[in-house]
Amino acid sequence: MHNARVDSPHGFVGQSPQIRSIRRQIEKIGTSLSPVLLLGESGTGKEVVARSLHNANPRGAFIPIDCGSLVGPLMESELFGHVRGAFTGATENKRGLIELANQGTAFFDEIGDLPLDMQVKLLRLLQEREYRPVGSLHRQKVEIRVIAATHRDLAREVERGTFRQDLFYRLNVIALRMPPLRERREDIPQLVERFLSRFGTYSVSPEVMDALMHYTWPGNVRELQNCVDRMAAMNPGPELHIEDLPSAVQTAVLHSATPGLAALANALEPRRIVPLDELERRAIIDCLEYTHGDRGMSASLLGIGRTTLYRKLKAYNLDIEARDRCHLQPGS
Ligand SMILES: Nc1ncnc2c1ncn2[C@@H]1O[C@H](COP(=O)(O)OP(=O)(O)OP(=O)(O)O)[C@@H](O)[C@H]1O
Ligand SMILES: [Mg+2]
């Protein structure tokens, strides 16, 4: 079985073959100080894996570094620290993130956003295991494990010249790719259970679970977690029902070909064939939910003019207040 340390304390949930394989690799990587590159779409759990890697061999601190925010004149000092008098305003010595991560793990999140001049400095740090704080004459030794994550295709960034090839090779020694949630739907029930358990005694109806299992989750686990949190926040429970789901997730089940789900689709919509105006109404509801009621954006997403949208809203009785009552109840 998998290592309990890998699961806790931050919770790395999932029993799909892909997640089991990731767990095995985390254990194999173990105490190695080689850099690890985590790839995968947004919300797939790259940071969860980074923390699991750290916890599998918990020495020192886990220091997350948001590379997208390392811009501007202070970024070098942010990372490497500075000595007193290094520049105007540097009234004290300041420790940088790298020093805080010494003997531990530096997690470079969104490494693809690291500016090119900082890429050079990171490469030197990886090669020489030392760095120089801003304004200091002395180089400092460090021993850190570097974990980097990105949702971008770094090889393509290298081709485009926005990411240094030498740094890419250096980071790409051990690469783990987090699969999107839609490719490991069997993890969904466990994730839902884990997320719901934070709110007390909630449960979901079988219909809700069917819908959750069939939605495509473009925002992956993060989107699932937001969906569950929102449902629990808005419903006293204990059981959550299909109408408590966002309408985009509700309708996922209607597009499913699974026999058990067809029955549910029938319950929501007694006719097998959905009339065009009902499809249109649902498209408008989905879009308004998606844009948080922004009619201008909805009109352009739907490919119709604003006036046409207003006319249809009126015709379908979909004014803002009416919107929530109208979910999928045919012909209201
Ligand atoms: N396997 C998992 N078990 C439990 N929670 C998870 C799992 N995967 C992701 N999560 C949760 O989903 C959310 C998103 O995960 P995380 O921040 O690790 O994704 P990410 O890949 O770093 O996304 P991004 O690229 O957008 O930064 C977090 O709240 C995290 O706790
Ligand atoms: Mg992240």
pLDDT at 322: 41
Residue 42 Cα to ligand 2 middle (Å): 7
Q: Indicate which residue's Cα is closest to atom 6 of ligand 1.
A: 45
Domain boundaries, the chain: 4-179, 183-325
Closest ligand 1 atom, CA of 14?
A: 1
Does residue 282 line the site of ligand 1, with CB under 6 A? no
Atom of ligand 1 nearest to the CA of 48: 18
What confidence score (pLDDT) does residue 148 get? 97
Instruction: Give residue 40 CA to ligand 2 midpoint distance, Å.
Output: 10
User: How far is it, in rounded angstroms, from Cα 243 to Cα 290?
Assistant: 16
Give, for ligand 1, the residue of 41, 177, 186, 221 to mutate: max count of ligand atoms closer than 8 Å to Cβ.
221
Question: Which two tokens mark 97?
Answer: 């993130």
Q: Which residues are near ligand 2, the ion (C-beta closer than 5 Å)?
A: 47
User: Which CATH fold would you assign to the domain 183-325?
Assistant: Helicase, Ruva Protein; domain 3 (1.10.8)
The string of pLDDT tens digits covering residues 275-294 is 677 788 888 888 888 778 88
> From the CB of 180, is ligand 1 less than 6 Å away?
no
pLDDT at 42: 94
* Ligand number with the minimum distance to the CA of 178: 1
Q: What is the pLDDT of residue 15?
A: 94
Protein fold of 4-179: Rossmann fold (3.40.50)
Distance from Cα 276 to the centre of ligand 2, integer Å: 41
Q: Decide whether any atom of ligand 1 lies within 6 Å of the 43 Cβ.
A: yes
Q: Is the CB of 151 under 6 A from ligand 1?
A: yes
Ligand 1 atom 31 nearest Cα: 48
**Atom 18 of ligand 1, nearest CA residue:** 45
> Is residue 289 within 6 Å of ligand 1 at its C-beta?
no
Q: Is 12 in the pocket of ligand 1 (CB under 6 A)?
A: yes
User: Which stretches of the chain score pLDDT less than 50?
Assistant: 1-10, 259, 261-262, 266, 269-271, 321-332
136 lines ligand 1 (CB under 6 A): no
What distance in angstroms lies between residue 323's CA and the mean position of ligand 2's atoms? 33
pTM comes to 0.75
Closest to 229 in 3D by CA, of 189, 210, 248, 202: 202
What is the structure's pLDDT at 281? 85
